Amino acid sequence: MAKYENDVKQLLKLIGGKKNIQAVSHCMTRMRFVLVDPKKADEKAIEEIPAVKGTFTQAGQYQVIIGNDVSVFYNEFTSYAGIEGVSKEAAKAAAKTNQNVVQKMMGALGEIFAPLIPALICGGLILGFRNIIGEINFFENGTKSLADMYQFWEGTYNFLWLIGEAVFHLLPVGIVWSITKKMGTTQILGIILGLTLVSSQLLNGFSVADTPTADIPVWDFGFTKVEMIGYQGQVIAAMMAGFVLVYLEKFFKKHCPEVISMIVVPFCSLVPAVIIAHTVVGPIGWTIGNAIADVVYGGLMSSFGWLFAGLFGLLYAPIVMTGLHHMTNAIDTQLVNTYDGTILWPMIALSNIAQGSSVLAMSILQKKNERAQQVNVPACISCYLGVTEPALFGVNLKYGFPLICGMIGSAIAAMISVGCGVQALSIGVGGLPGIISIKPEFYLIFLLAMAEAIVVPFVLTFFVGKKKLSKEDRGLAAKGTTAATETVLKEETAASVDKAPEESLTEIKAILSGKVIPIEEVDDDVFSQKVMGDGVAIEPTDTTVVAPADAEVSIVMAETGHACGLTLDNGMEILIHVGIDTVDMGGDGFKLLVAQGDHVSCGAPLIQFEPEKIKAAGHPTTTMLILTGEGTARNIQMRTGQTAEAGKTAVISFE
């Protein structure tokens, strides 16, 4: 009898049968399905399968979290179902076929803006801090700010604009770079094209409106003149220019002999792209961008603006789940650059808060449900800090009513915000910290809207949940335990006894040298929400992963080399995962130094990796050390916040 025979049979049935599976693959912890009809998958029932630790949908793939044994489960599943697995890249390609044109466009837009989000958040925080020290008059009867009173703060206020200008005024450089990165063309050419859009030789784009037409400098070619206008802060124009460069480069690469491509392709791609950017797509993009900003701003500031605001606040969370929300980044940035502020971003921050408040109510309702709390608590925190996907997919959508309660609270808060004309100086800072990006004159109104976004969703979710949630969901009654589950538990208990350590093991050493951070800070929901188990993460300063204790290598990812599993002498099971989403690299940049079944000593090398290749592929190098099984260990403590030395510094301790 196969190890997961019953679970495999259940999963195949609950996922809609063989005919509903377009493609299937797996990574270190998850089964990845591309389904013909995702609605046929019974998500709630699938999560009740003993081997399943959770599910979520991302980029058109339905992902089922299994854990360290995923390769065994995958082999049994494909054998039983009579399906041939495919590579991760093939699964991604298949997933895209399930998306319509709008979804593909929004997906592409999301992939373009995703690498820019950290810079936008940093820039938003910078502008928010400048706002506090230089724009709010705390002193002398409300006539002077910190910067007016003290030379240090005036210097700080002026210095911080160096970063703010780089983020928001020079944004076209980042946009064009991100487009070339996503489309797989030469990134340095994208950076150069972006720089030509914001060159100091040009009239600053923010000064165009105040400059008489006769005073705008031009390039005079004799037969025609081209205005020397910069595109500082312009989003649409930069995107259009970026795609012109991409398609020119792809065209010339396809038709140019390889022997001269190094010379011909860059020249014939970049020079025409710069010309087209400044003569055709730049002016068109400028016009489109300003038109979009005018329509949005005019609609929200009209006498019916509160109605549009309510609709936006109500629908923003569902829009996030479709990926269409990435369009708001472009609109928001355009509003900031056109009107020196955005009325849209405050509503987004309030929607974050509202959905987080629904999760907070669920956390209180399910305080005795340990499995639910492993998702609820980190999801609530991340939502209040502006990242809503864990809350939406992990909690609110799962139960339904928390999502609706959050939407109602968000709609009311949005109407308060827009009805009172609240504006933000910048984008990037969402959730509760979003208040620092708000213009000072709107602080009190925004605080009122924040209070509503906290109280209304919380109260609605709490009282609806008391009626709708079963005792099992709330952790007030144990779910039925099947005979099969009891057998597995007995076997695991027996195995733990058999593996009782001969010598006392009380700590696990660092697998890499570097900064040890809490697992909750990892930018991957499966790890940060502790779906696989608790643990720590390391921001590495070296390139060789070592064994954290004497152990047996229980599982390896031979094809990709980016992860492995260990079993310690006390029965503890450990998962080591180098980087985030590095399975997509197909093994490039990784060298696995051990095989399944090997016995290793503490400090023995396990994996070598090339951080430059990981970063070039667009992935963080953050490496996870996860406890997927506690064995006989008790009182486990995570020792984060320190700088560790591989194989020597204790990062997890226990009894």
List active site positions.
27
Contact residues for 206 (Cβ-Cβ < 8 A; gap 6+): 169, 232, 233, 337
- The full DSSP string for 455-478 is HHHHHHHHHHHHHHS-HHHHTSSP
HSE-CB for 604 with a 13 A CA cutoff: 16
Tell me the Cα Rg of the chain: 27
- The full DSSP string for 53-72 is -EEEEETTEEEEE--TTHHH
Neighbours of 218 (CB within 10 A): 12
Q: Environment class of residue 644 by beta-carbon count within 10 Å: exposed (0-12), middle (13-18) or buried (19+)?
A: buried
Alpha-helical runs (H) found in 114-202: 117-134, 146-149, 151-164, 171-183, 187-197
Q: Are the CB atoms for 511 and 539 separated by under 8 Å? A: no
What strands, in cross-sheet order, belong to the sheet with 623-629?
599-600, 551-556, 563-568, 573-578, 623-629, 535-540, 514-518, 643-644
Distance CA 403, CA 396 (A): 5
Q: Report the candidate in 65, 63, 60, 64 with the shortest Cα–Cα distance to residue 94.
A: 60
Q: Report the candidate in 457, 118, 525, 444 with the shortest Cα–Cα distance to residue 314.
A: 457
**Partners of 94 in the beta sheet?**
none
